[in-house]
């Protein structure tokens, strides 16, 4: 049976000579696995661009409850990114977001439209942003925790519990996290302050997810925002 849904690409793997297996977080069905045949052939130039991480898609898909891997009937880009592909900092944010989202969204078939809409809206917001890109990884991490089921209550609580050995664990760090948490005007920050806040947030995630492990994208993110 065919259904229409929007989707956010999370990852893909090569399958045989010309096909891929792709993980897509869909608006209607939650996380789903699809096989896409022939997408890597010489006759399918440009189609692989549709399956790059965090691409926003409009889909017509088959849904068979008896199968673990579904198929896509139609696929097009819902919102082509204008700035992200050409901005190294925004591309680094995308790499970080992909890794973080993949640790949160693991179970297939669990519909969560609120989470879908949040991620989609933040992607478009990042693409259109003119400045303050350095705050996007932190804001996203704070807000995503709410959708993941372990909402951050306050900056002071977060810093006291997870700001291990932070030399900035007093007023500045708490105020920065509170501003991001409450979506208020962000105070003046420094590289060290943002790094301490990010470390604090990753400690928080590690404390709430059993297999969180170390985020491989953190080093790239820190280097580009230094």
DSSP string, 125-191: HHHH--S-GGGHHHHHHHHHHHHHT-----HHHHHHHH-TT-TTTTHHHHHHHHHHHTT-PPPP--H
Q: How many domains does the chain have?
A: 2
Residues 44 and 126 reside in one and the same domain: no
| Together in a domain, 96 and 200 | yes
The predicted structure's pLDDT at residue 167: 58
- What domain range includes position 88? 84-224
Last residue of a domain, one of 47, 62, 77: 77
| pLDDT value, residue 79 | 95
Same domain, 112 and 209: yes
**Contact by Cβ (8 Å): 24, 120:** no
- Indicate whether 119 pLDDT > 80: yes
Does residue 66 sit in the same domain as residue 99? no
**Judgement on whether residues 214 and 140 belong to the same structural domain of the protein:** yes
Higher-pLDDT residue of 179 and 167 is 179
Q: What is the model's pLDDT at position 65?
A: 86
* Residue 153 and residue 105 share a domain: yes
Q: Are 49 and 138 in a shared domain?
A: no
C-alpha atoms less than 13 angstroms from C-alpha of 134 in its C-beta half-sphere: 18
Q: Would the pLDDT of 96 be above 80?
A: yes
Same domain, 64 and 175: no
Instruction: For residue range 173-218, list pLDDT tens digits in order.
Output: 999 999 999 988 998 899 989 988 998 999 999 999 988 878 889 8
Q: Is the pLDDT of residue 7 over 60?
A: yes
CATH number, domain at 22?
Answer: 2.40.50.140
Residue 32 structure tokens: 């789903």
Residues 64 and 121 in one domain: no
Give Cβ neighbours of residue 202 (< 8 Å, ≥ 6 apart): 141, 215, 218
> Final residue of a domain: which of 77, 109, 144?
77
Asked whether residue 169 carries a pLDDT value surpassing 60, the answer given is no
Per-residue pLDDT reduced to its tens digit, 46-62: 688 899 999 999 999 99
Distance CA 141, CA 185 (A): 17
Q: Which helix H or strand E contains 102, and what residues bound it?
A: helix 88-104
Same domain, 160 and 219: yes
Whether 19 and 101 share a structural domain: no
């Amino acid at each position: 049976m065919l259904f229409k849904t929007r989707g956010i690409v999370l990852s893909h793997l090569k399958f045989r000579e010309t096909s891929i297996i792709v993980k897509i977080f869909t608006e209607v069905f939650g996380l789903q696995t699809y096989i896409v045949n022939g997408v890597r052939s010489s006759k399918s130039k440009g189609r692989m661009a549709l399956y790059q991480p965090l691409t926003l898609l409009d889909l017509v898909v088959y849904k068979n409850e008896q199968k673990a891997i579904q198929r896509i009937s139609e696929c097009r880009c819902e919102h082509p990114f204008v700035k992200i592909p050409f901005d190294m900092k925004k591309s680094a944010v995308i790499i970080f977001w992909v890794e973080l989202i993949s640790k949160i969204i693991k179970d297939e078939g669990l519909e969560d439209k609120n989470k879908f809409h949040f991620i989609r809206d933040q992607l478009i917001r990042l693409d259109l942003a003119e400045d303050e890109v350095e705050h996007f990884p932190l804001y996203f991490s704070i807000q995503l925790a709410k959708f993941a089921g372990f909402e951050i209550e306050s900056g002071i609580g977060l810093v006291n519990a997870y700001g291990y050995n932070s030399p900035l664990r007093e007023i500045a760090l708490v105020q920065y996290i509170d501003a991001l948490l409450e979506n208020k005007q962000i105070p003046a920050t420094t590289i060290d302050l943002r790094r301490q806040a990010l470390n604090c947030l990753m400690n928080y995630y590690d404390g709430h997810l059993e297999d969180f492990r170390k985020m491989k994208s953190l080093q790239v993110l820190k280097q580009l925002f230094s």
